[in-house]
């Protein structure tokens, strides 16, 4: 065998080894990615509304004590206390003791009067909820948006209630259990709370439609929040990047609430079917971006004090639907990003942060100048 032939064979062997090494590496990566799955389960709890409906018919001490011991009741009461801390609301037990259905003048921070007025509708709805399979469509709506670079195993407890904060039709809160009592805290187990009295008041009298088109859709909204928060706990990016400025917090509201609003109330399908043909939707969008622009200018100015800026930030996702400038602007951004780049781009933004999400929308807007622009202050930040 000549020297040249040996060299050729060595080169071929070396090349084959490199190819084999690459294939092994790719196989390993593929296998690793396949193991990184998100497993989501939903556990439904209706004990609190069941007992409150009984209490409306029979205000016995035994029913009252059972109602006050329920996790859903305690979590609901904790949310009201935390939300209205400046108003120092009475305990839920005191509110029950003093409740009179004909008294419309006494302060009613827990919405007991609404729960009483809606009791016939919520009774029907609760029975339907107990028979409904929430695991399929609710989970499927969010699965395409959850990043796959970490494994998640989530068991989401959903507590239905009939009382609570007047703007809180549904929300995610962290809770801890201490001495058989559930407390709402900054850290703890995330749970979903859904107020059926508000839902039956807002979304119509057809309980079958309300269950499928509203309760189920809103649960997807809240389940997205819960799953995203659990993802943040294991994500290197989110553990190492936490902009706590007012603008940084607003950017996170725009991304997080924007995606959740896009996934609820069948909004994804609605925008897909109607955006291009509806001037009303486009006008709503422009008004929302104008609100966002005004809010950003105020948040970076020195004219507002800290409490005023905090209140302005909170209004980005509370109050009247169309006035939630952060959430609604974000919803439209999600629609345009997905329309151009696909759901994969939204998923990627969850692993790369809120400013990356805004950068995606900015790129879409540069390609289509008919869309509303981001506020200049946000554009300056994402270009850094």
pLDDT tens string 76-124: 999 999 988 767 889 999 999 999 998 888 899 999 999 999 999 999 9
181-185, strands of its sheet edge to edge:
38-45, 152-161, 189-195, 170-178, 181-185
- In the three-class reduction of DSSP (H, G, I as helix; E, B as strand; rest coil), residue 181 is classed as strand
13 domain residue, yes or no: no
23 domain residue, yes or no: no
Report the C-alpha gap between 309 and 312 in whole angstroms.
Answer: 5
302 domain residue, yes or no: yes
Range of the domain at 263: 243-382
Query: Pairing state of beta strands 181-185 and 189-195?
Result: unpaired
8 domain residue, yes or no: no
Report the C-alpha gap between 50 and 122 in whole angstroms.
Answer: 10
Instruction: Identify the CA nearest to 229 among candidates 333, 164, 309, 142.
Output: 142
Name the E strands within the chain. Answer: 38-45, 152-161, 170-178, 181-185, 189-195
For 8-64, the pLDDT digits (tens) are 444 444 434 333 433 333 333 333 344 567 899 999 999 999 999 999 999 999 999
- In the three-class reduction of DSSP (H, G, I as helix; E, B as strand; rest coil), residue 265 is classed as coil
CA distances from 254 to 140, 145, 225, 257 (A): 22, 16, 13, 6
Number of domains in the chain: 2
Is 228 found in the same domain as 98? yes
For 291-318, the pLDDT digits (tens) are 999 999 999 999 999 999 999 999 999 8
Is 51 found in the same domain as 189? yes
Q: Which pLDDT score, from 0 to 100, does residue 2 have?
A: 52
* Chosen domain end from 214, 233, 252: 233
Name the E strands within 196-338. Answer: none
27 domain residue, yes or no: no
Sign (positive/negative) of CA torsion 197, 198, 199, 203? positive
Higher-scoring residue by pLDDT: 23, 233: 233
Is 275 found in the same domain as 129? no
- Residue 248 sits at the vertex; the CA angle it makes with 270 and 86, to the nearest 5 degrees, is 90
Is 48 found in the same domain as 158? yes
Query: Pairing state of beta strands 170-178 and 189-195?
Result: antiparallel
- In the three-class reduction of DSSP (H, G, I as helix; E, B as strand; rest coil), residue 63 is classed as helix
Report the C-alpha gap between 31 and 25 in whole angstroms.
Answer: 10
Is 124 found in the same domain as 182? yes
* Chosen domain end from 192, 211, 233: 233
pTM: 0.86
Distance of CA 271 to the CA centre of its chain: 19
Q: Which pLDDT score, from 0 to 100, does residue 28 have?
A: 36
Is 217 found in the same domain as 321? no
Q: Which pLDDT score, from 0 to 100, does residue 38 have?
A: 83
Is 256 found in the same domain as 345? yes
Are 145 and 346 in contact, with CB atoms under 8 Å apart? yes
Report the C-alpha gap between 312 and 107 in whole angstroms.
Answer: 25
**What number of other Cβ atoms are within 10 A of residue 133's Cβ?**
9
* Chosen domain end from 233, 256, 284: 233
């Amino acid at each position: 065998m000549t020297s040249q032939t040996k060299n050729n064979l060595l080169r071929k062997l070396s090349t084959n080894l490199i190819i084999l090494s690459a294939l092994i590496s790719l196989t390993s990566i593929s296998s690793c990615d396949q193991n990184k799955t998100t497993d989501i389960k939903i556990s439904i709890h209706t004990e609190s509304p069941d007992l409150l409906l009984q209490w409306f018919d029979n205000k016995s001490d035994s029913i009252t004590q059972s109602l006050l011991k329920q996790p859903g009741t305690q979590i609901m009461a904790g949310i009201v206390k935390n939300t209205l801390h400046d108003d120092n609301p009475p305990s839920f037990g005191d509110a029950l003791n003093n409740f009179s259905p004909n008294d419309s003048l006494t302060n009613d921070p827990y919405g007991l009067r609404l729960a009483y007025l809606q009791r016939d509708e919520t009774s029907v709805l609760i029975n339907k909820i107990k028979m409904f399979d929430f695991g399929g469509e609710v989970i499927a709506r969010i699965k395409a948006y959850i990043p796959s670079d970490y494994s998640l195993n989530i068991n989401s407890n959903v507590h239905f209630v009939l009382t609570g904060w007047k703007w809180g039709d549904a929300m995610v809160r962290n809770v801890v259990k201490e001495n058989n009592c559930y407390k709402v805290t900054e850290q703890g187990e995330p749970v979903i709370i859904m107020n059926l009295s508000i839902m039956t008041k807002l979304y119509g009298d057809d309980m079958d439609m309300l269950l499928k088109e509203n309760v189920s859709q809103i649960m997807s909204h809240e389940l997205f929040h819960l799953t995203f928060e659990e993802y943040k706990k294991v994500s290197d990016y989110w553990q190492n990047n936490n902009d706590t400025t007012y603008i940084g917090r607003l950017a996170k509201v725009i991304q997080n609430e924007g995606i959740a609003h896009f996934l609820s109330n069948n909004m994804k399908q609605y925008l897909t079917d109607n955006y291009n043909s509806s001037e009303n939707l486009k006008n709503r969008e422009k008004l929302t971006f104008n609100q966002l622009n005004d809010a950003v200018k105020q948040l970076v100015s020195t004219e507002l004090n800290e409490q005023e800026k905090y209140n302005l930030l909170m209004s980005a996702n509370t109050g009247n639907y169309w006035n939630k400038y952060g959430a609604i602007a974000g919803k439209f951004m999600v629609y345009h990003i997905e329309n151009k780049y696909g759901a994969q781009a939204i998923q990627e933004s969850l692993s790369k942060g809120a400013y990356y999400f805004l950068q995606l929308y900015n790129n879409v807007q540069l390609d289509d100048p008919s869309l509303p622009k981001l506020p200049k202050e946000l554009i300056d930040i994402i270009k850094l």
